[in-house]
Structure 1
Amino acid sequence: MTTAPVLHRLPAAAAANPDLLSLIGRTPLARVRTELPFPHPGFWAKLECLGAGGMKSRAALSMLCGARRRGELRPGATVVESTSGTLGIGLAFAGQALGHPVVLVGDIELEPSMRQLLRSYGAQLELVDRPAPEGGWQAARITRLRDVLSAIPDAYWPDQYNNPDNAAGYASMAAELREQLDHLDVLVCSVGTGGHSAGLVGPLRRRWPRLKVIGVDSVGSAIFGQPARPRLMRGLGSSIHPRNVAHHVFDEVHWVGPAEAVDACRRLARTSFVSGGWSTGAVALVSAWAARVEAGAVVATVFPDGPHRYLGTVYDDDFCHAHGLDRAPLATRPLELAHPQAAEAVGWARCRHVTDPSTPTRIPTGARTPGGSA
């Protein structure tokens, strides 16, 4: 793992600022018609970048408030969590609003700009310097997190991957979508911890029972049964199996690669002005595809955050060139997989057979051979 000390310093006490709570939610919907990469009828995007702390401030507040109600999080106690960045912003916001110091366990692949931003918001960072042999960076961060927890009296770990309050935090977003849309046929959700998809689908299907739900994962992610591989994309995907992922709610899953996500992000920025990072590019690509193939369907998705965190990656020509993203052939439609284990997804792949990889299942006969493209 790492030989760095568990903590450079104990976190300082924090004063609560409850006035911040009024800044959460009520984010607008944008109609997106950017060619991604082909013309399409358009889809709706919930712009969480225009809410304080981005999308995950909803989950962060829900987890901390739930823990306070149950007596698991004492007044003024330190919150310790693993993050690739996005939830860290949300926790920094929630910590300021509720009066809790925040220690975030990240890794050395966390962008320098995100490190600066998190520290500017008052969070203390602890970084691991190498991935674990099993479970990659996430497993390494959790190991370090447990050491940090043991070093801080009364520290609380929200455990975003398995905490049901994560999903519960998106009830407000579901209510906003019900008010903003007259009808919804297809919901497209990026999947990392599984929180916002699990939190949205129940309330939205009670309103629109025939709602189709498409999950969007990263190539190299193990969430839906693909082999875990090193991933360039952050904010979606996982090398572990979060219990918050409600596999049964998805009608299909798409895996999207970094070159395709970058292309979508840059197209959005040039022509729709609203854009974001890896998750935004991936869900935009799949939403545009769904709007094309589902004739007349109302399609909606969530853009989790804005582009600012990604100026040194997604929007940086040198970064993209160094990783071969400017030379990679771009998939313009998904390759159809009969089963998540039929083939390793690269570029862009789709599967309509969704399973929970933590539950043993029999692979259908013939499912080892990829089907045609759709």
Structure 2
Amino acid sequence: MAAAPLLHRPSAGAANPDLLPLVGRTPLARVRTELPYAHPGFWAKLECLGAGGMKARSAVSMLLGARRRGDLRPGAPVVESTSGTMGVGLAFAGQALGHPVILVGDTELEPSMRQLLRAYGARLELVERPAPEGGWQAARISRLREVLRQLPDAYWPDQYNNPDNAAGYRSMATELCGQLDHLDILVCSVGTGGHSAGLVGPLRRRWPGLKVIGVDSVGSTIFGQPARPRLMRGLGSSIHPGNVAYDAFDEVHWVGPAEAVDACRRLARGNFVSGGWSTGAVALVSAWAARVESGAVVATVFPDGPHRYLGTVYDDDFCHTHGLDRTELAVRPLEIRRPWAAEASGWARCRTVVDPVPSARPRVPAPAHAGGIA
């Protein structure tokens, strides 16, 4: 990769703390759309209806935590790697707290998302090719470190390993406790590991028997599968984030892009509320859990809405180009006894969850309870 041009230090705008009360306080929707079969229904937290989306919760938490520790000085730049959604959250937090934001993305970032992030005042740095190991994420982080060397007063939240990421979702846990009388199963998409780690502790204190299902992308290495090029963005990873609380999960599902697209489109046609890759994946698994666990109260989080995905998930030409309209859809997950026993090429399930690299990176303390699905 060619040497990056020198960056000028961006100027800080005035803080707008009146934005902060707009974070969160999102409603629950009851979803009964067939996905792909009939099911009793599940609850979905609609994070697209909060300012800045789901990641605004963690972005504000990370910047406030850094300011308390003195790691982020007033008006200093914030630099972070993003595939899109965290970028929106940081753009929101930067405006609210008075910090210019530099986002390191890649050329797979949708043109509409690039326009949106720039409209929110963020500066974009795009890497042009993935790293041989670690893919786009490793390439983005390499470029991010170059930016930090050029802007020594800038702050990197490091969303993958920052405990304040998870802490930002305690407000969501409080909201869920107030919105639900009971909860048996929580279904969480897993990317940085932030929202699952932040939700599980408070929710299990309220409902000690809570079962937690993680939802990952085919081709993601988070739960011990080999890293492969991934079409789906927003969940999954080519690296092992330190925020993933492996002990919190009772089982993990890997979902392929064709199943996620089918679920998204079914939601849009039959439930109006839909979203992108993560939403389709968790909706599919939530409907399955509600169907197989008779009488269980199931809840999940829809991280964002459909607008970012009009050129991918909801575009017939895109789906045809990538063969998603010709893929035979799984109607139930393939059972894998161990994460390394077989490579998932479509919807798969494993009830053995382990940390693939327990000693290679810093860890966030896991919640006290870790049960298993019978």
TM-score normalised by the chain length of structure 1: 0.95
CA contact (8 A) 1:6 1:144 kept: no
Q: Which residue of 1 aligns with 2:108?
A: 109
Distance 1:194 1:57 in 2: 15
Distance in 1, Cα, partners of 2:238 & 2:267: 28
Partners of 1:7 and 1:195 in 2: how far apart?
32
What SS does structure 2 have at the residue aligned with 1:353? coil
Question: What does 1:242-321 correspond to in 2, within 5 Å?
Answer: 242-321=241-320
**3-state SS in 2 of match to 1:315:** coil
1:66 corresponding residue in structure 2: 65
Report what 1:208 is aligned to: 207
| Structure 1 counterpart of 2:174 | 175
> Would the aligned equivalents of 2:7 and 2:147 in 1 still touch at CA under 8 Å?
no
On the 8 A contact 1:171/1:203 being kept in 2, the answer is: yes
Amino acid at match of 1:183: H
1:28-76, Cα deviation, whole Å (9 max, x unpaired): 0000000000000000000000000100000000000000000000000
Identity %: 84
Deviation at residue 3 of structure 1 after TM alignment: 1.8
Residue of structure 2 equivalent to 1:18:
17
Indicate how the Cα distance of structure 1 residues 157 and 185 shifts in structure 2: closer, same or farther if over 3 A, else same: same
Q: Report the Cα distance in structure 1 between the residues aligned to 2:101 and 2:198, rounded to whole angstroms.
A: 24
Kept in 2: contact 1:7–1:126 (CA 8 A): no
1:152 positional shift:
1.2
How has the CA–CA distance of structure 1 residues 6 and 295 changed in structure 2, closer, same or farther, with 3 Å as cutoff?
A: farther
Q: Which residue of 2 aligns with 1:229?
A: 228
Does the CA contact (< 8 Å) of 1:60 and 1:91 recur in 2? yes
Partner of 1:341: 340
Using the TM superposition, give the Cα deviation of residue 346 of structure 1 relative to its aligned residue in structure 2, in angstroms.
1.3
Contact 1:339 1:353 in 2 (8 A): yes
In the TM superposition, what whole-angstrom CA distance separates every residue of 1:213-256 from its partner, at most 9, and x where no partner exists?
00000000000000000000000000000010000100000000
Aligned to 1:188: 187
Letter in 2 for 1:353: T
What is the CA-CA distance between 1:5 and the residue it aligns to? 2.5
Deviation at 1:8? 5.4
Counterpart Cα distance in 1 of 2:4 and 2:358: 38
What is the CA-CA distance between 1:347 and the residue it aligns to?
Answer: 1.4
Counterpart of 2:119 in structure 1 is 120
Note the residue ranges of structure 1 that are not aligned, 5 or more in a row.
361-374
Q: Aligned partners of 1:4 and 1:313: how far apart in 2?
A: 32
Which one-letter code corresponds to 1:14 in the other structure? Answer: G
Structure 2 residue aligned with 1:29: 28
Q: CA deviation at 1:359?
A: 3.1
CA contact (8 A) 1:25 1:173 kept: yes
Give the partner amino acid of 1:336.
Answer: E
Q: In structure 2, how many angstroms separate the alpha carbons of the residues matched to 1:5 and 1:112?
A: 22
- Residue 371 of structure 2 corresponds to none
Matches within 5 A, 1:48-59: 48-59=47-58
Equivalents in 1 of 2:6, 2:199: separation in Å?
37
Distance (whole Å) between structure 1 residues aligned to residue 8 and residue 347 of structure 2: 44
**C-alpha deviation, 1:7, in angstroms:** 4.6
Match of residue 364 from structure 1: none
1:10 CA displacement: 3.4
Give the AA of the match of 1:89: V
Are the equivalent residues in 2 in contact too, given 1:257–1:346 (CA < 8 A)?
yes
Structure 1 residue 9, shift from structure 2 partner? 4.3
2:4/2:146 contact within 8 Å kept: no
Residue ranges of structure 2 left out of the alignment (5+ in a row): 360-374
Aligned to 1:199: 198
The structure-2 alpha-carbon separation of the partners of 1:7 and 1:305, relative to structure 1 and needing over 3 Å to count, comes to farther
CA contact (8 A) 1:222 1:228 kept: yes
Residues 6 and 147 in structure 1, CA contact (< 8 A), matched pair in contact too: no
* Contact 1:224–1:340 (8 Å) recurs in 2: yes
| 1:14 positional shift | 1.6
SS at match of 1:227: coil
Q: For residues 259 and 316 of structure 1, what CA distance do their matches in structure 2 show?
A: 13
Alignment partners' CA distance in 2, 1:247 and 1:73: 30
Q: The residue matched to 1:296 in structure 2 has which SS?
A: coil
Cα displacement string for residues 237-280 of structure 1 (whole angstroms, at most 9, x for unaligned residues): 00000010000100000000000000000000001000000000
Alpha-carbon spacing, 1:7–1:263, altered in 2? closer, same or farther (3 Å): farther
In structure 2, what is the Cα distance between the partners aligned to 1:33 and 1:3? 51
Describe the SS at the equivalent of 2:175: helix
Which amino acid in structure 1 is aligned with residue 192 of structure 2? T
The TM-score with structure 2 as length reference comes to 0.95
2:240 is equivalent to residue 241 of structure 1: yes
Preserved contact between residue 170 and residue 200 of structure 1 (Cα < 8 Å): yes
| Equivalent residue, structure 2, for 1:218 | 217
- Which structure 2 residues correspond to residues 68-107 of structure 1 after superposition, within 5 A? 68-107=67-106
CA distance in 1 between counterparts of 2:3 and 2:275 reads 33
Q: By how many angstroms is 1:15 displaced?
A: 1.2
* 1:16 partner SS: coil
Q: CA deviation at 1:293?
A: 0.2
Report the 3-state secondary structure (helix = DSSP H, G, I; strand = E; otherwise coil) of the residue aligned with 1:154: coil
The answer on whether the counterparts of 2:7 and 2:150 sit within 8 Å (CA) in structure 1 is no
The residue type paired with residue 142 of structure 2 is: T
SS at match of 2:305: coil
Q: Which structure 1 residue ranges, 4+ long, deviate > 2 Å from structure 2?
A: 4-10
Aligned residue for 1:189, secondary structure, equals: strand
Letter in 1 for 2:194: G
